Chains A and B, each alone.
Chain A
């Protein structure tokens, strides 16, 4: 039987997919909380924006580690 479709590549891609699950949920929660809080109390939006970005950056780091490791650990 001839090969119709073939996938070549490295496990790092799948690893990155797995690494992105947690941060995906976390970033969703962060932005949901920010929208919630600024809808309830619009005057706090300026103050909470900074902390939203700090939280977003900390969570995002995990997904980015997955991306970097996918390239760093070849094979």
Chain B
């Protein structure tokens, strides 16, 4: 979108990182920090408003026999509550179900923007959004662990895993610090970001490839057909990946919470 497809016989320009940059509608500067309102910002606002309106409308007048909207909201919440929160964390997990369900729906909606015409980009293809979501999940599981066990016992269990010979701590403590406190939030953010980033690039390569091949003045024109078919097929593949990544993000958050809340090993 940001860059026009290359035409004619002067070669195909593969889409790069610049195709993720949109012209800002509004921009301003506070204390040397640049603020921009772009398509991506507006998509996030739309996602937030959509979720609030849909869920409020679904449960405003709850009925015993649910209508269509209520049924949808209840089944999404039920999936997260029963299949993720209760199955993975256990009985204590129920109180995290609202957070996990909100997280799931927010990521699904923002991800699916990636294949909706006109929107065509997922806000999660910008590292800032997944990073912020990952930071929230990271703080949540650390705070949950501290509140359950107390600050020192919680960090002591991370630093010095109980039931291990003392000499092993030389090896284990650095690994545990890195894996629990550093790698977890980073992988959480990068996984979602990279999937959306790669998905957007993949679709761009094949749609721009189609337009490019159509503009070539030789027999290579016919290759635009497989390219277009692939673009269509990959759109459905992207839908699958987008929902799967939302699920994976929530399941991983739940498993980190489970680790933080677990009794002494």
Interface residues of A (CB under 8 A from B): 47, 50, 53-54, 56-58, 60-61, 64-65, 67-68, 71
Are the CB atoms of A61 and B190 closer together than 8 Å? yes
Does more than half of chain B's interface fall in helix, strand or loop, or is it mixed? helix
Report the minimal beta-carbon distance from B18 to chain A, rounded to whole angstroms.
Answer: 11
CA separation between A64 and B188, bound complex, in Å?
A: 11
In the complex, chain A residues whose CB is within 8 Å of the CB of B83: 50
Residue-wise interface mask of B (17-41) relative to A, using a CB-CB cutoff of 8 A (1 in contact, 0 not): 1000000000000000000000000
In the complex, chain A residues whose CB is within 8 Å of the CB of B252: 54, 57
Question: Contact size class for B?
Answer: 20 to 34
Q: Is B88 an interface position by the 8 A CB rule?
A: yes
CA separation between A60 and B245, bound complex, in Å?
A: 11
Interface residues of B (CB under 8 A from A): 16-17, 83-84, 87-88, 187, 190-191, 193-195, 197-198, 244, 247-248, 251-252, 255
In the complex, chain A residues whose CB is within 8 Å of the CB of B198: 64, 67
CA separation between A47 and B83, bound complex, in Å?
A: 9
Across chains A and B, the number of contacting residue pairs, with CB separation under 8 Å, is 41
Task: From A47, A54, A61, give the contact of B251 (CB < 8 A).
Answer: A54
Are the CB atoms of B197 and A61 closer together than 8 Å? no
Task: Tell me which of A57, A65, A68, A71 has the highest count of chain B C-beta atoms within 10 A of its own C-beta.
Answer: A57
In the complex, chain B residues whose CB is within 8 Å of the CB of A53: 244, 247-248, 251
Are the CB atoms of A65 and B194 closer together than 8 Å? yes
Are the CB atoms of B191 and A50 closer together than 8 Å? no
Are the CB atoms of A50 and B195 closer together than 8 Å? no
CA separation between A71 and B190, bound complex, in Å?
A: 13
Known: A50-B251, A53-B247, A53-B248. A68 touches B194 (CB 8 A): yes
Are the CB atoms of A68 and B191 closer together than 8 Å? no
CA separation between A53 and B247, bound complex, in Å?
A: 9
